[in-house]
Structure 1
Amino acid sequence: MANHTETNESNKTGGLDRFLVTFNKGDIIFFEREIEDVAYMIKQGKVRLIRIINGVEKFVGTVSDGDFFGEMSLLANTARSATAIAVEETQAFRISKVNFDLLVKSNVTIATKVLTLTAERIAKQQRQLHILLLHDEESQVLDTLLMLYEGLNTAQRENVSINITPYELTTWAGVNIENTKRILAGYQESRRISVFPDRIIIQNINELERIVGSRRKLVATTDPAS
């Protein structure tokens, strides 16, 4: 657990100020599977959430100003589902379960935000589970690209640019970097995608959906448990 400094400044956040803590860049705020009855709300900064699956770092998401994280452990009374790391110097309100419950019950805006965030995270976890059910790494990489496309909320289906590096795609898909690069190179050679240092362009979304869809049907017919 990272060391943090308490802050007692008084501003618009009122009574929450006594819960304010500061994390330095690179500090681990909590570890996956850790038991702790505390949630966080970011006042200023950015936090990266990751999981380790089969020895590979898997990117879960990034939270920033005004976002909650760690609240799922309180709501479900379970261990941490991810590791939280400060991307930059971050100030956050460290809120116990008792105070979290009081805050949600007394503030409609915060209650709505927590419910919306929880629903979004459950939907994202279900989508990521669909990716893991694909047994081959090529399908997992392609379906991760489709998941990122879905997050763009765009009707465009040709020459779609995804702002992600191959390494970031690795952490999303849970596939090691060497295999990810090999898979991307193969699809770039067949002109289905174009890979740049800071982005990946999908030439035709329909084509990727067709490939992943056929792989998913194959899994369904060969693995009754899926």
Structure 2
Amino acid sequence: MSETTKTGGLERFLVTFKQGEIIFFEHDTEDVAYMIKQGKIRLVKIINGVEKFVATVGDGDFFGEMAILANNPRSATAIAIEETQAYKISKTNFELLINANVTIATKILTLSAQRIQRQRRQLQILLLNDDETQVLDALLMLYEQLEITNKENVTINITPYELTTWAGVAMDKAKKILATYQENRRISVFPDRIIIQNIQELQRIVQARRKSVSDTDDSTT
């Protein structure tokens, strides 16, 4: 990692991360946040030995802010998807920045709220304890994040690998599930995206499976 010492504004805090470089690990304790100037960062968690995709952040986005806002250890590992330039901001400078800029403060609060909501939604998926349903529900979660009303031929810009990390399902199992649904013409799988033919159909399948799991749990108690 190299540091640029340009004068003026935030430029003196600018750092560069190489593709594949780890910025910080989950559970690290560090009181700095980052704002991306240019590039992309992937945030992941390890749950039960499986890497879980949390989010991808890009130009203008903040990450690592909860270490400052809540004095918490890192909740995820941050990895540079490509060469990335970001402003490394200490707690003191972070507070000065948000106090001086209402737009940035609002954006940080919005991003933090979205991440908390996303983590709760992911927990719902993991509790299903069924590989196929977890993959389908992960697709539905990603659709929900698009905030669109269209329910046919919906494109989800995610790789099959990223989908498996959302779902908490091993790659080989997820590939078989995706292949089956592609053969049935319910989805179309591409290297960089997945197209869902009919959202409502997937919703019905997941709802039925959730009910089945709930009924099974009730019968065993």
Same fold, judged at TM 0.5 (above): yes
Deviations 1:174-196 (A, max 9, x none): 21110001111222333322333
Q: Which residue of 2 is the match for residue 83 of structure 1?
A: 77
- Given candidates 49, 54, 65, the residue that maps to 2:59 is 65
- Give the Cα–Cα distance (whole angstroms) in 2 for the partners of residues 223 and 101 of structure 1: 48
1:53 to 39, 42, 47: 47
Q: Is 2:35 the partner of 1:38?
A: no
- Do the aligned partners of residues 111 and 5 (structure 1) sit closer, same or farther apart at CA in structure 2, a change above 3 Å counting? same
Give the C-alpha shift of residue 77 in structure 1: 1.5
What does 1:1-226 align with in structure 2 at a 5 Å threshold? 4-10=1-7, 14-223=8-217
Cα gap change, 1:196/1:99 in structure 2, threshold over 3 Å: closer, same or farther?
closer
- Shifted more, 148-157 versus 108-117: the winner is 148-157
Deviation at 1:199, TM superposition (A): 2.9
Other structure's SS at 2:52 match? strand
Unaligned ranges ≥5, structure 1: none
SS at match of 1:32: coil
Q: What SS does the corresponding residue of 1:62 show, helix, strand or coil?
A: strand
Cα deviations by residue, 1:3-59 (Å, 9 ceiling, x for unpaired) = x2221213xxx3322222111111110001111111111112211111122222211
Aligned residues: percent identity?
71
Q: Distance in 1 between matches of 2:206 and 2:24?
A: 35
Deviation at 1:223, TM superposition (A): 4.4
Equivalent position SS for 1:151: helix
Length, aligned pairs only: 218
Taking the aligned partners of 1:197 and 1:22, their CA distance within structure 2 comes to: 28
Could you tell me how far apart the structure 2 residues matched to 1:75 and 1:144 are? 29
Q: Could you say what secondary structure the match of 2:10 adopts?
A: helix
TM-score by length of 2: 0.90
Partner SS for 1:146: helix
Q: Structure 1 residues 187-196 or 137-146, which shifts more?
A: 187-196
Q: Distance in 1 between matches of 2:157 and 2:104?
A: 30
Distance in 2 (CA, whole Å) between partners of 1:111 and 1:196 is: 37
Superposed CA RMSD: 1.8
Write the letter of the residue equivalent to 2:164: T
TM-score (norm: length of structure 1): 0.88
1: CA distance, partners of 2:68 / 2:216 = 38
Shift of 1:166: 2.0
Counterpart-to-counterpart distance in 2, 1:40 and 1:62: 14
1:119 alignment partner, SS class: helix
3-state secondary structure, aligned to 2:6: coil
SS in 1 for 2:180: helix
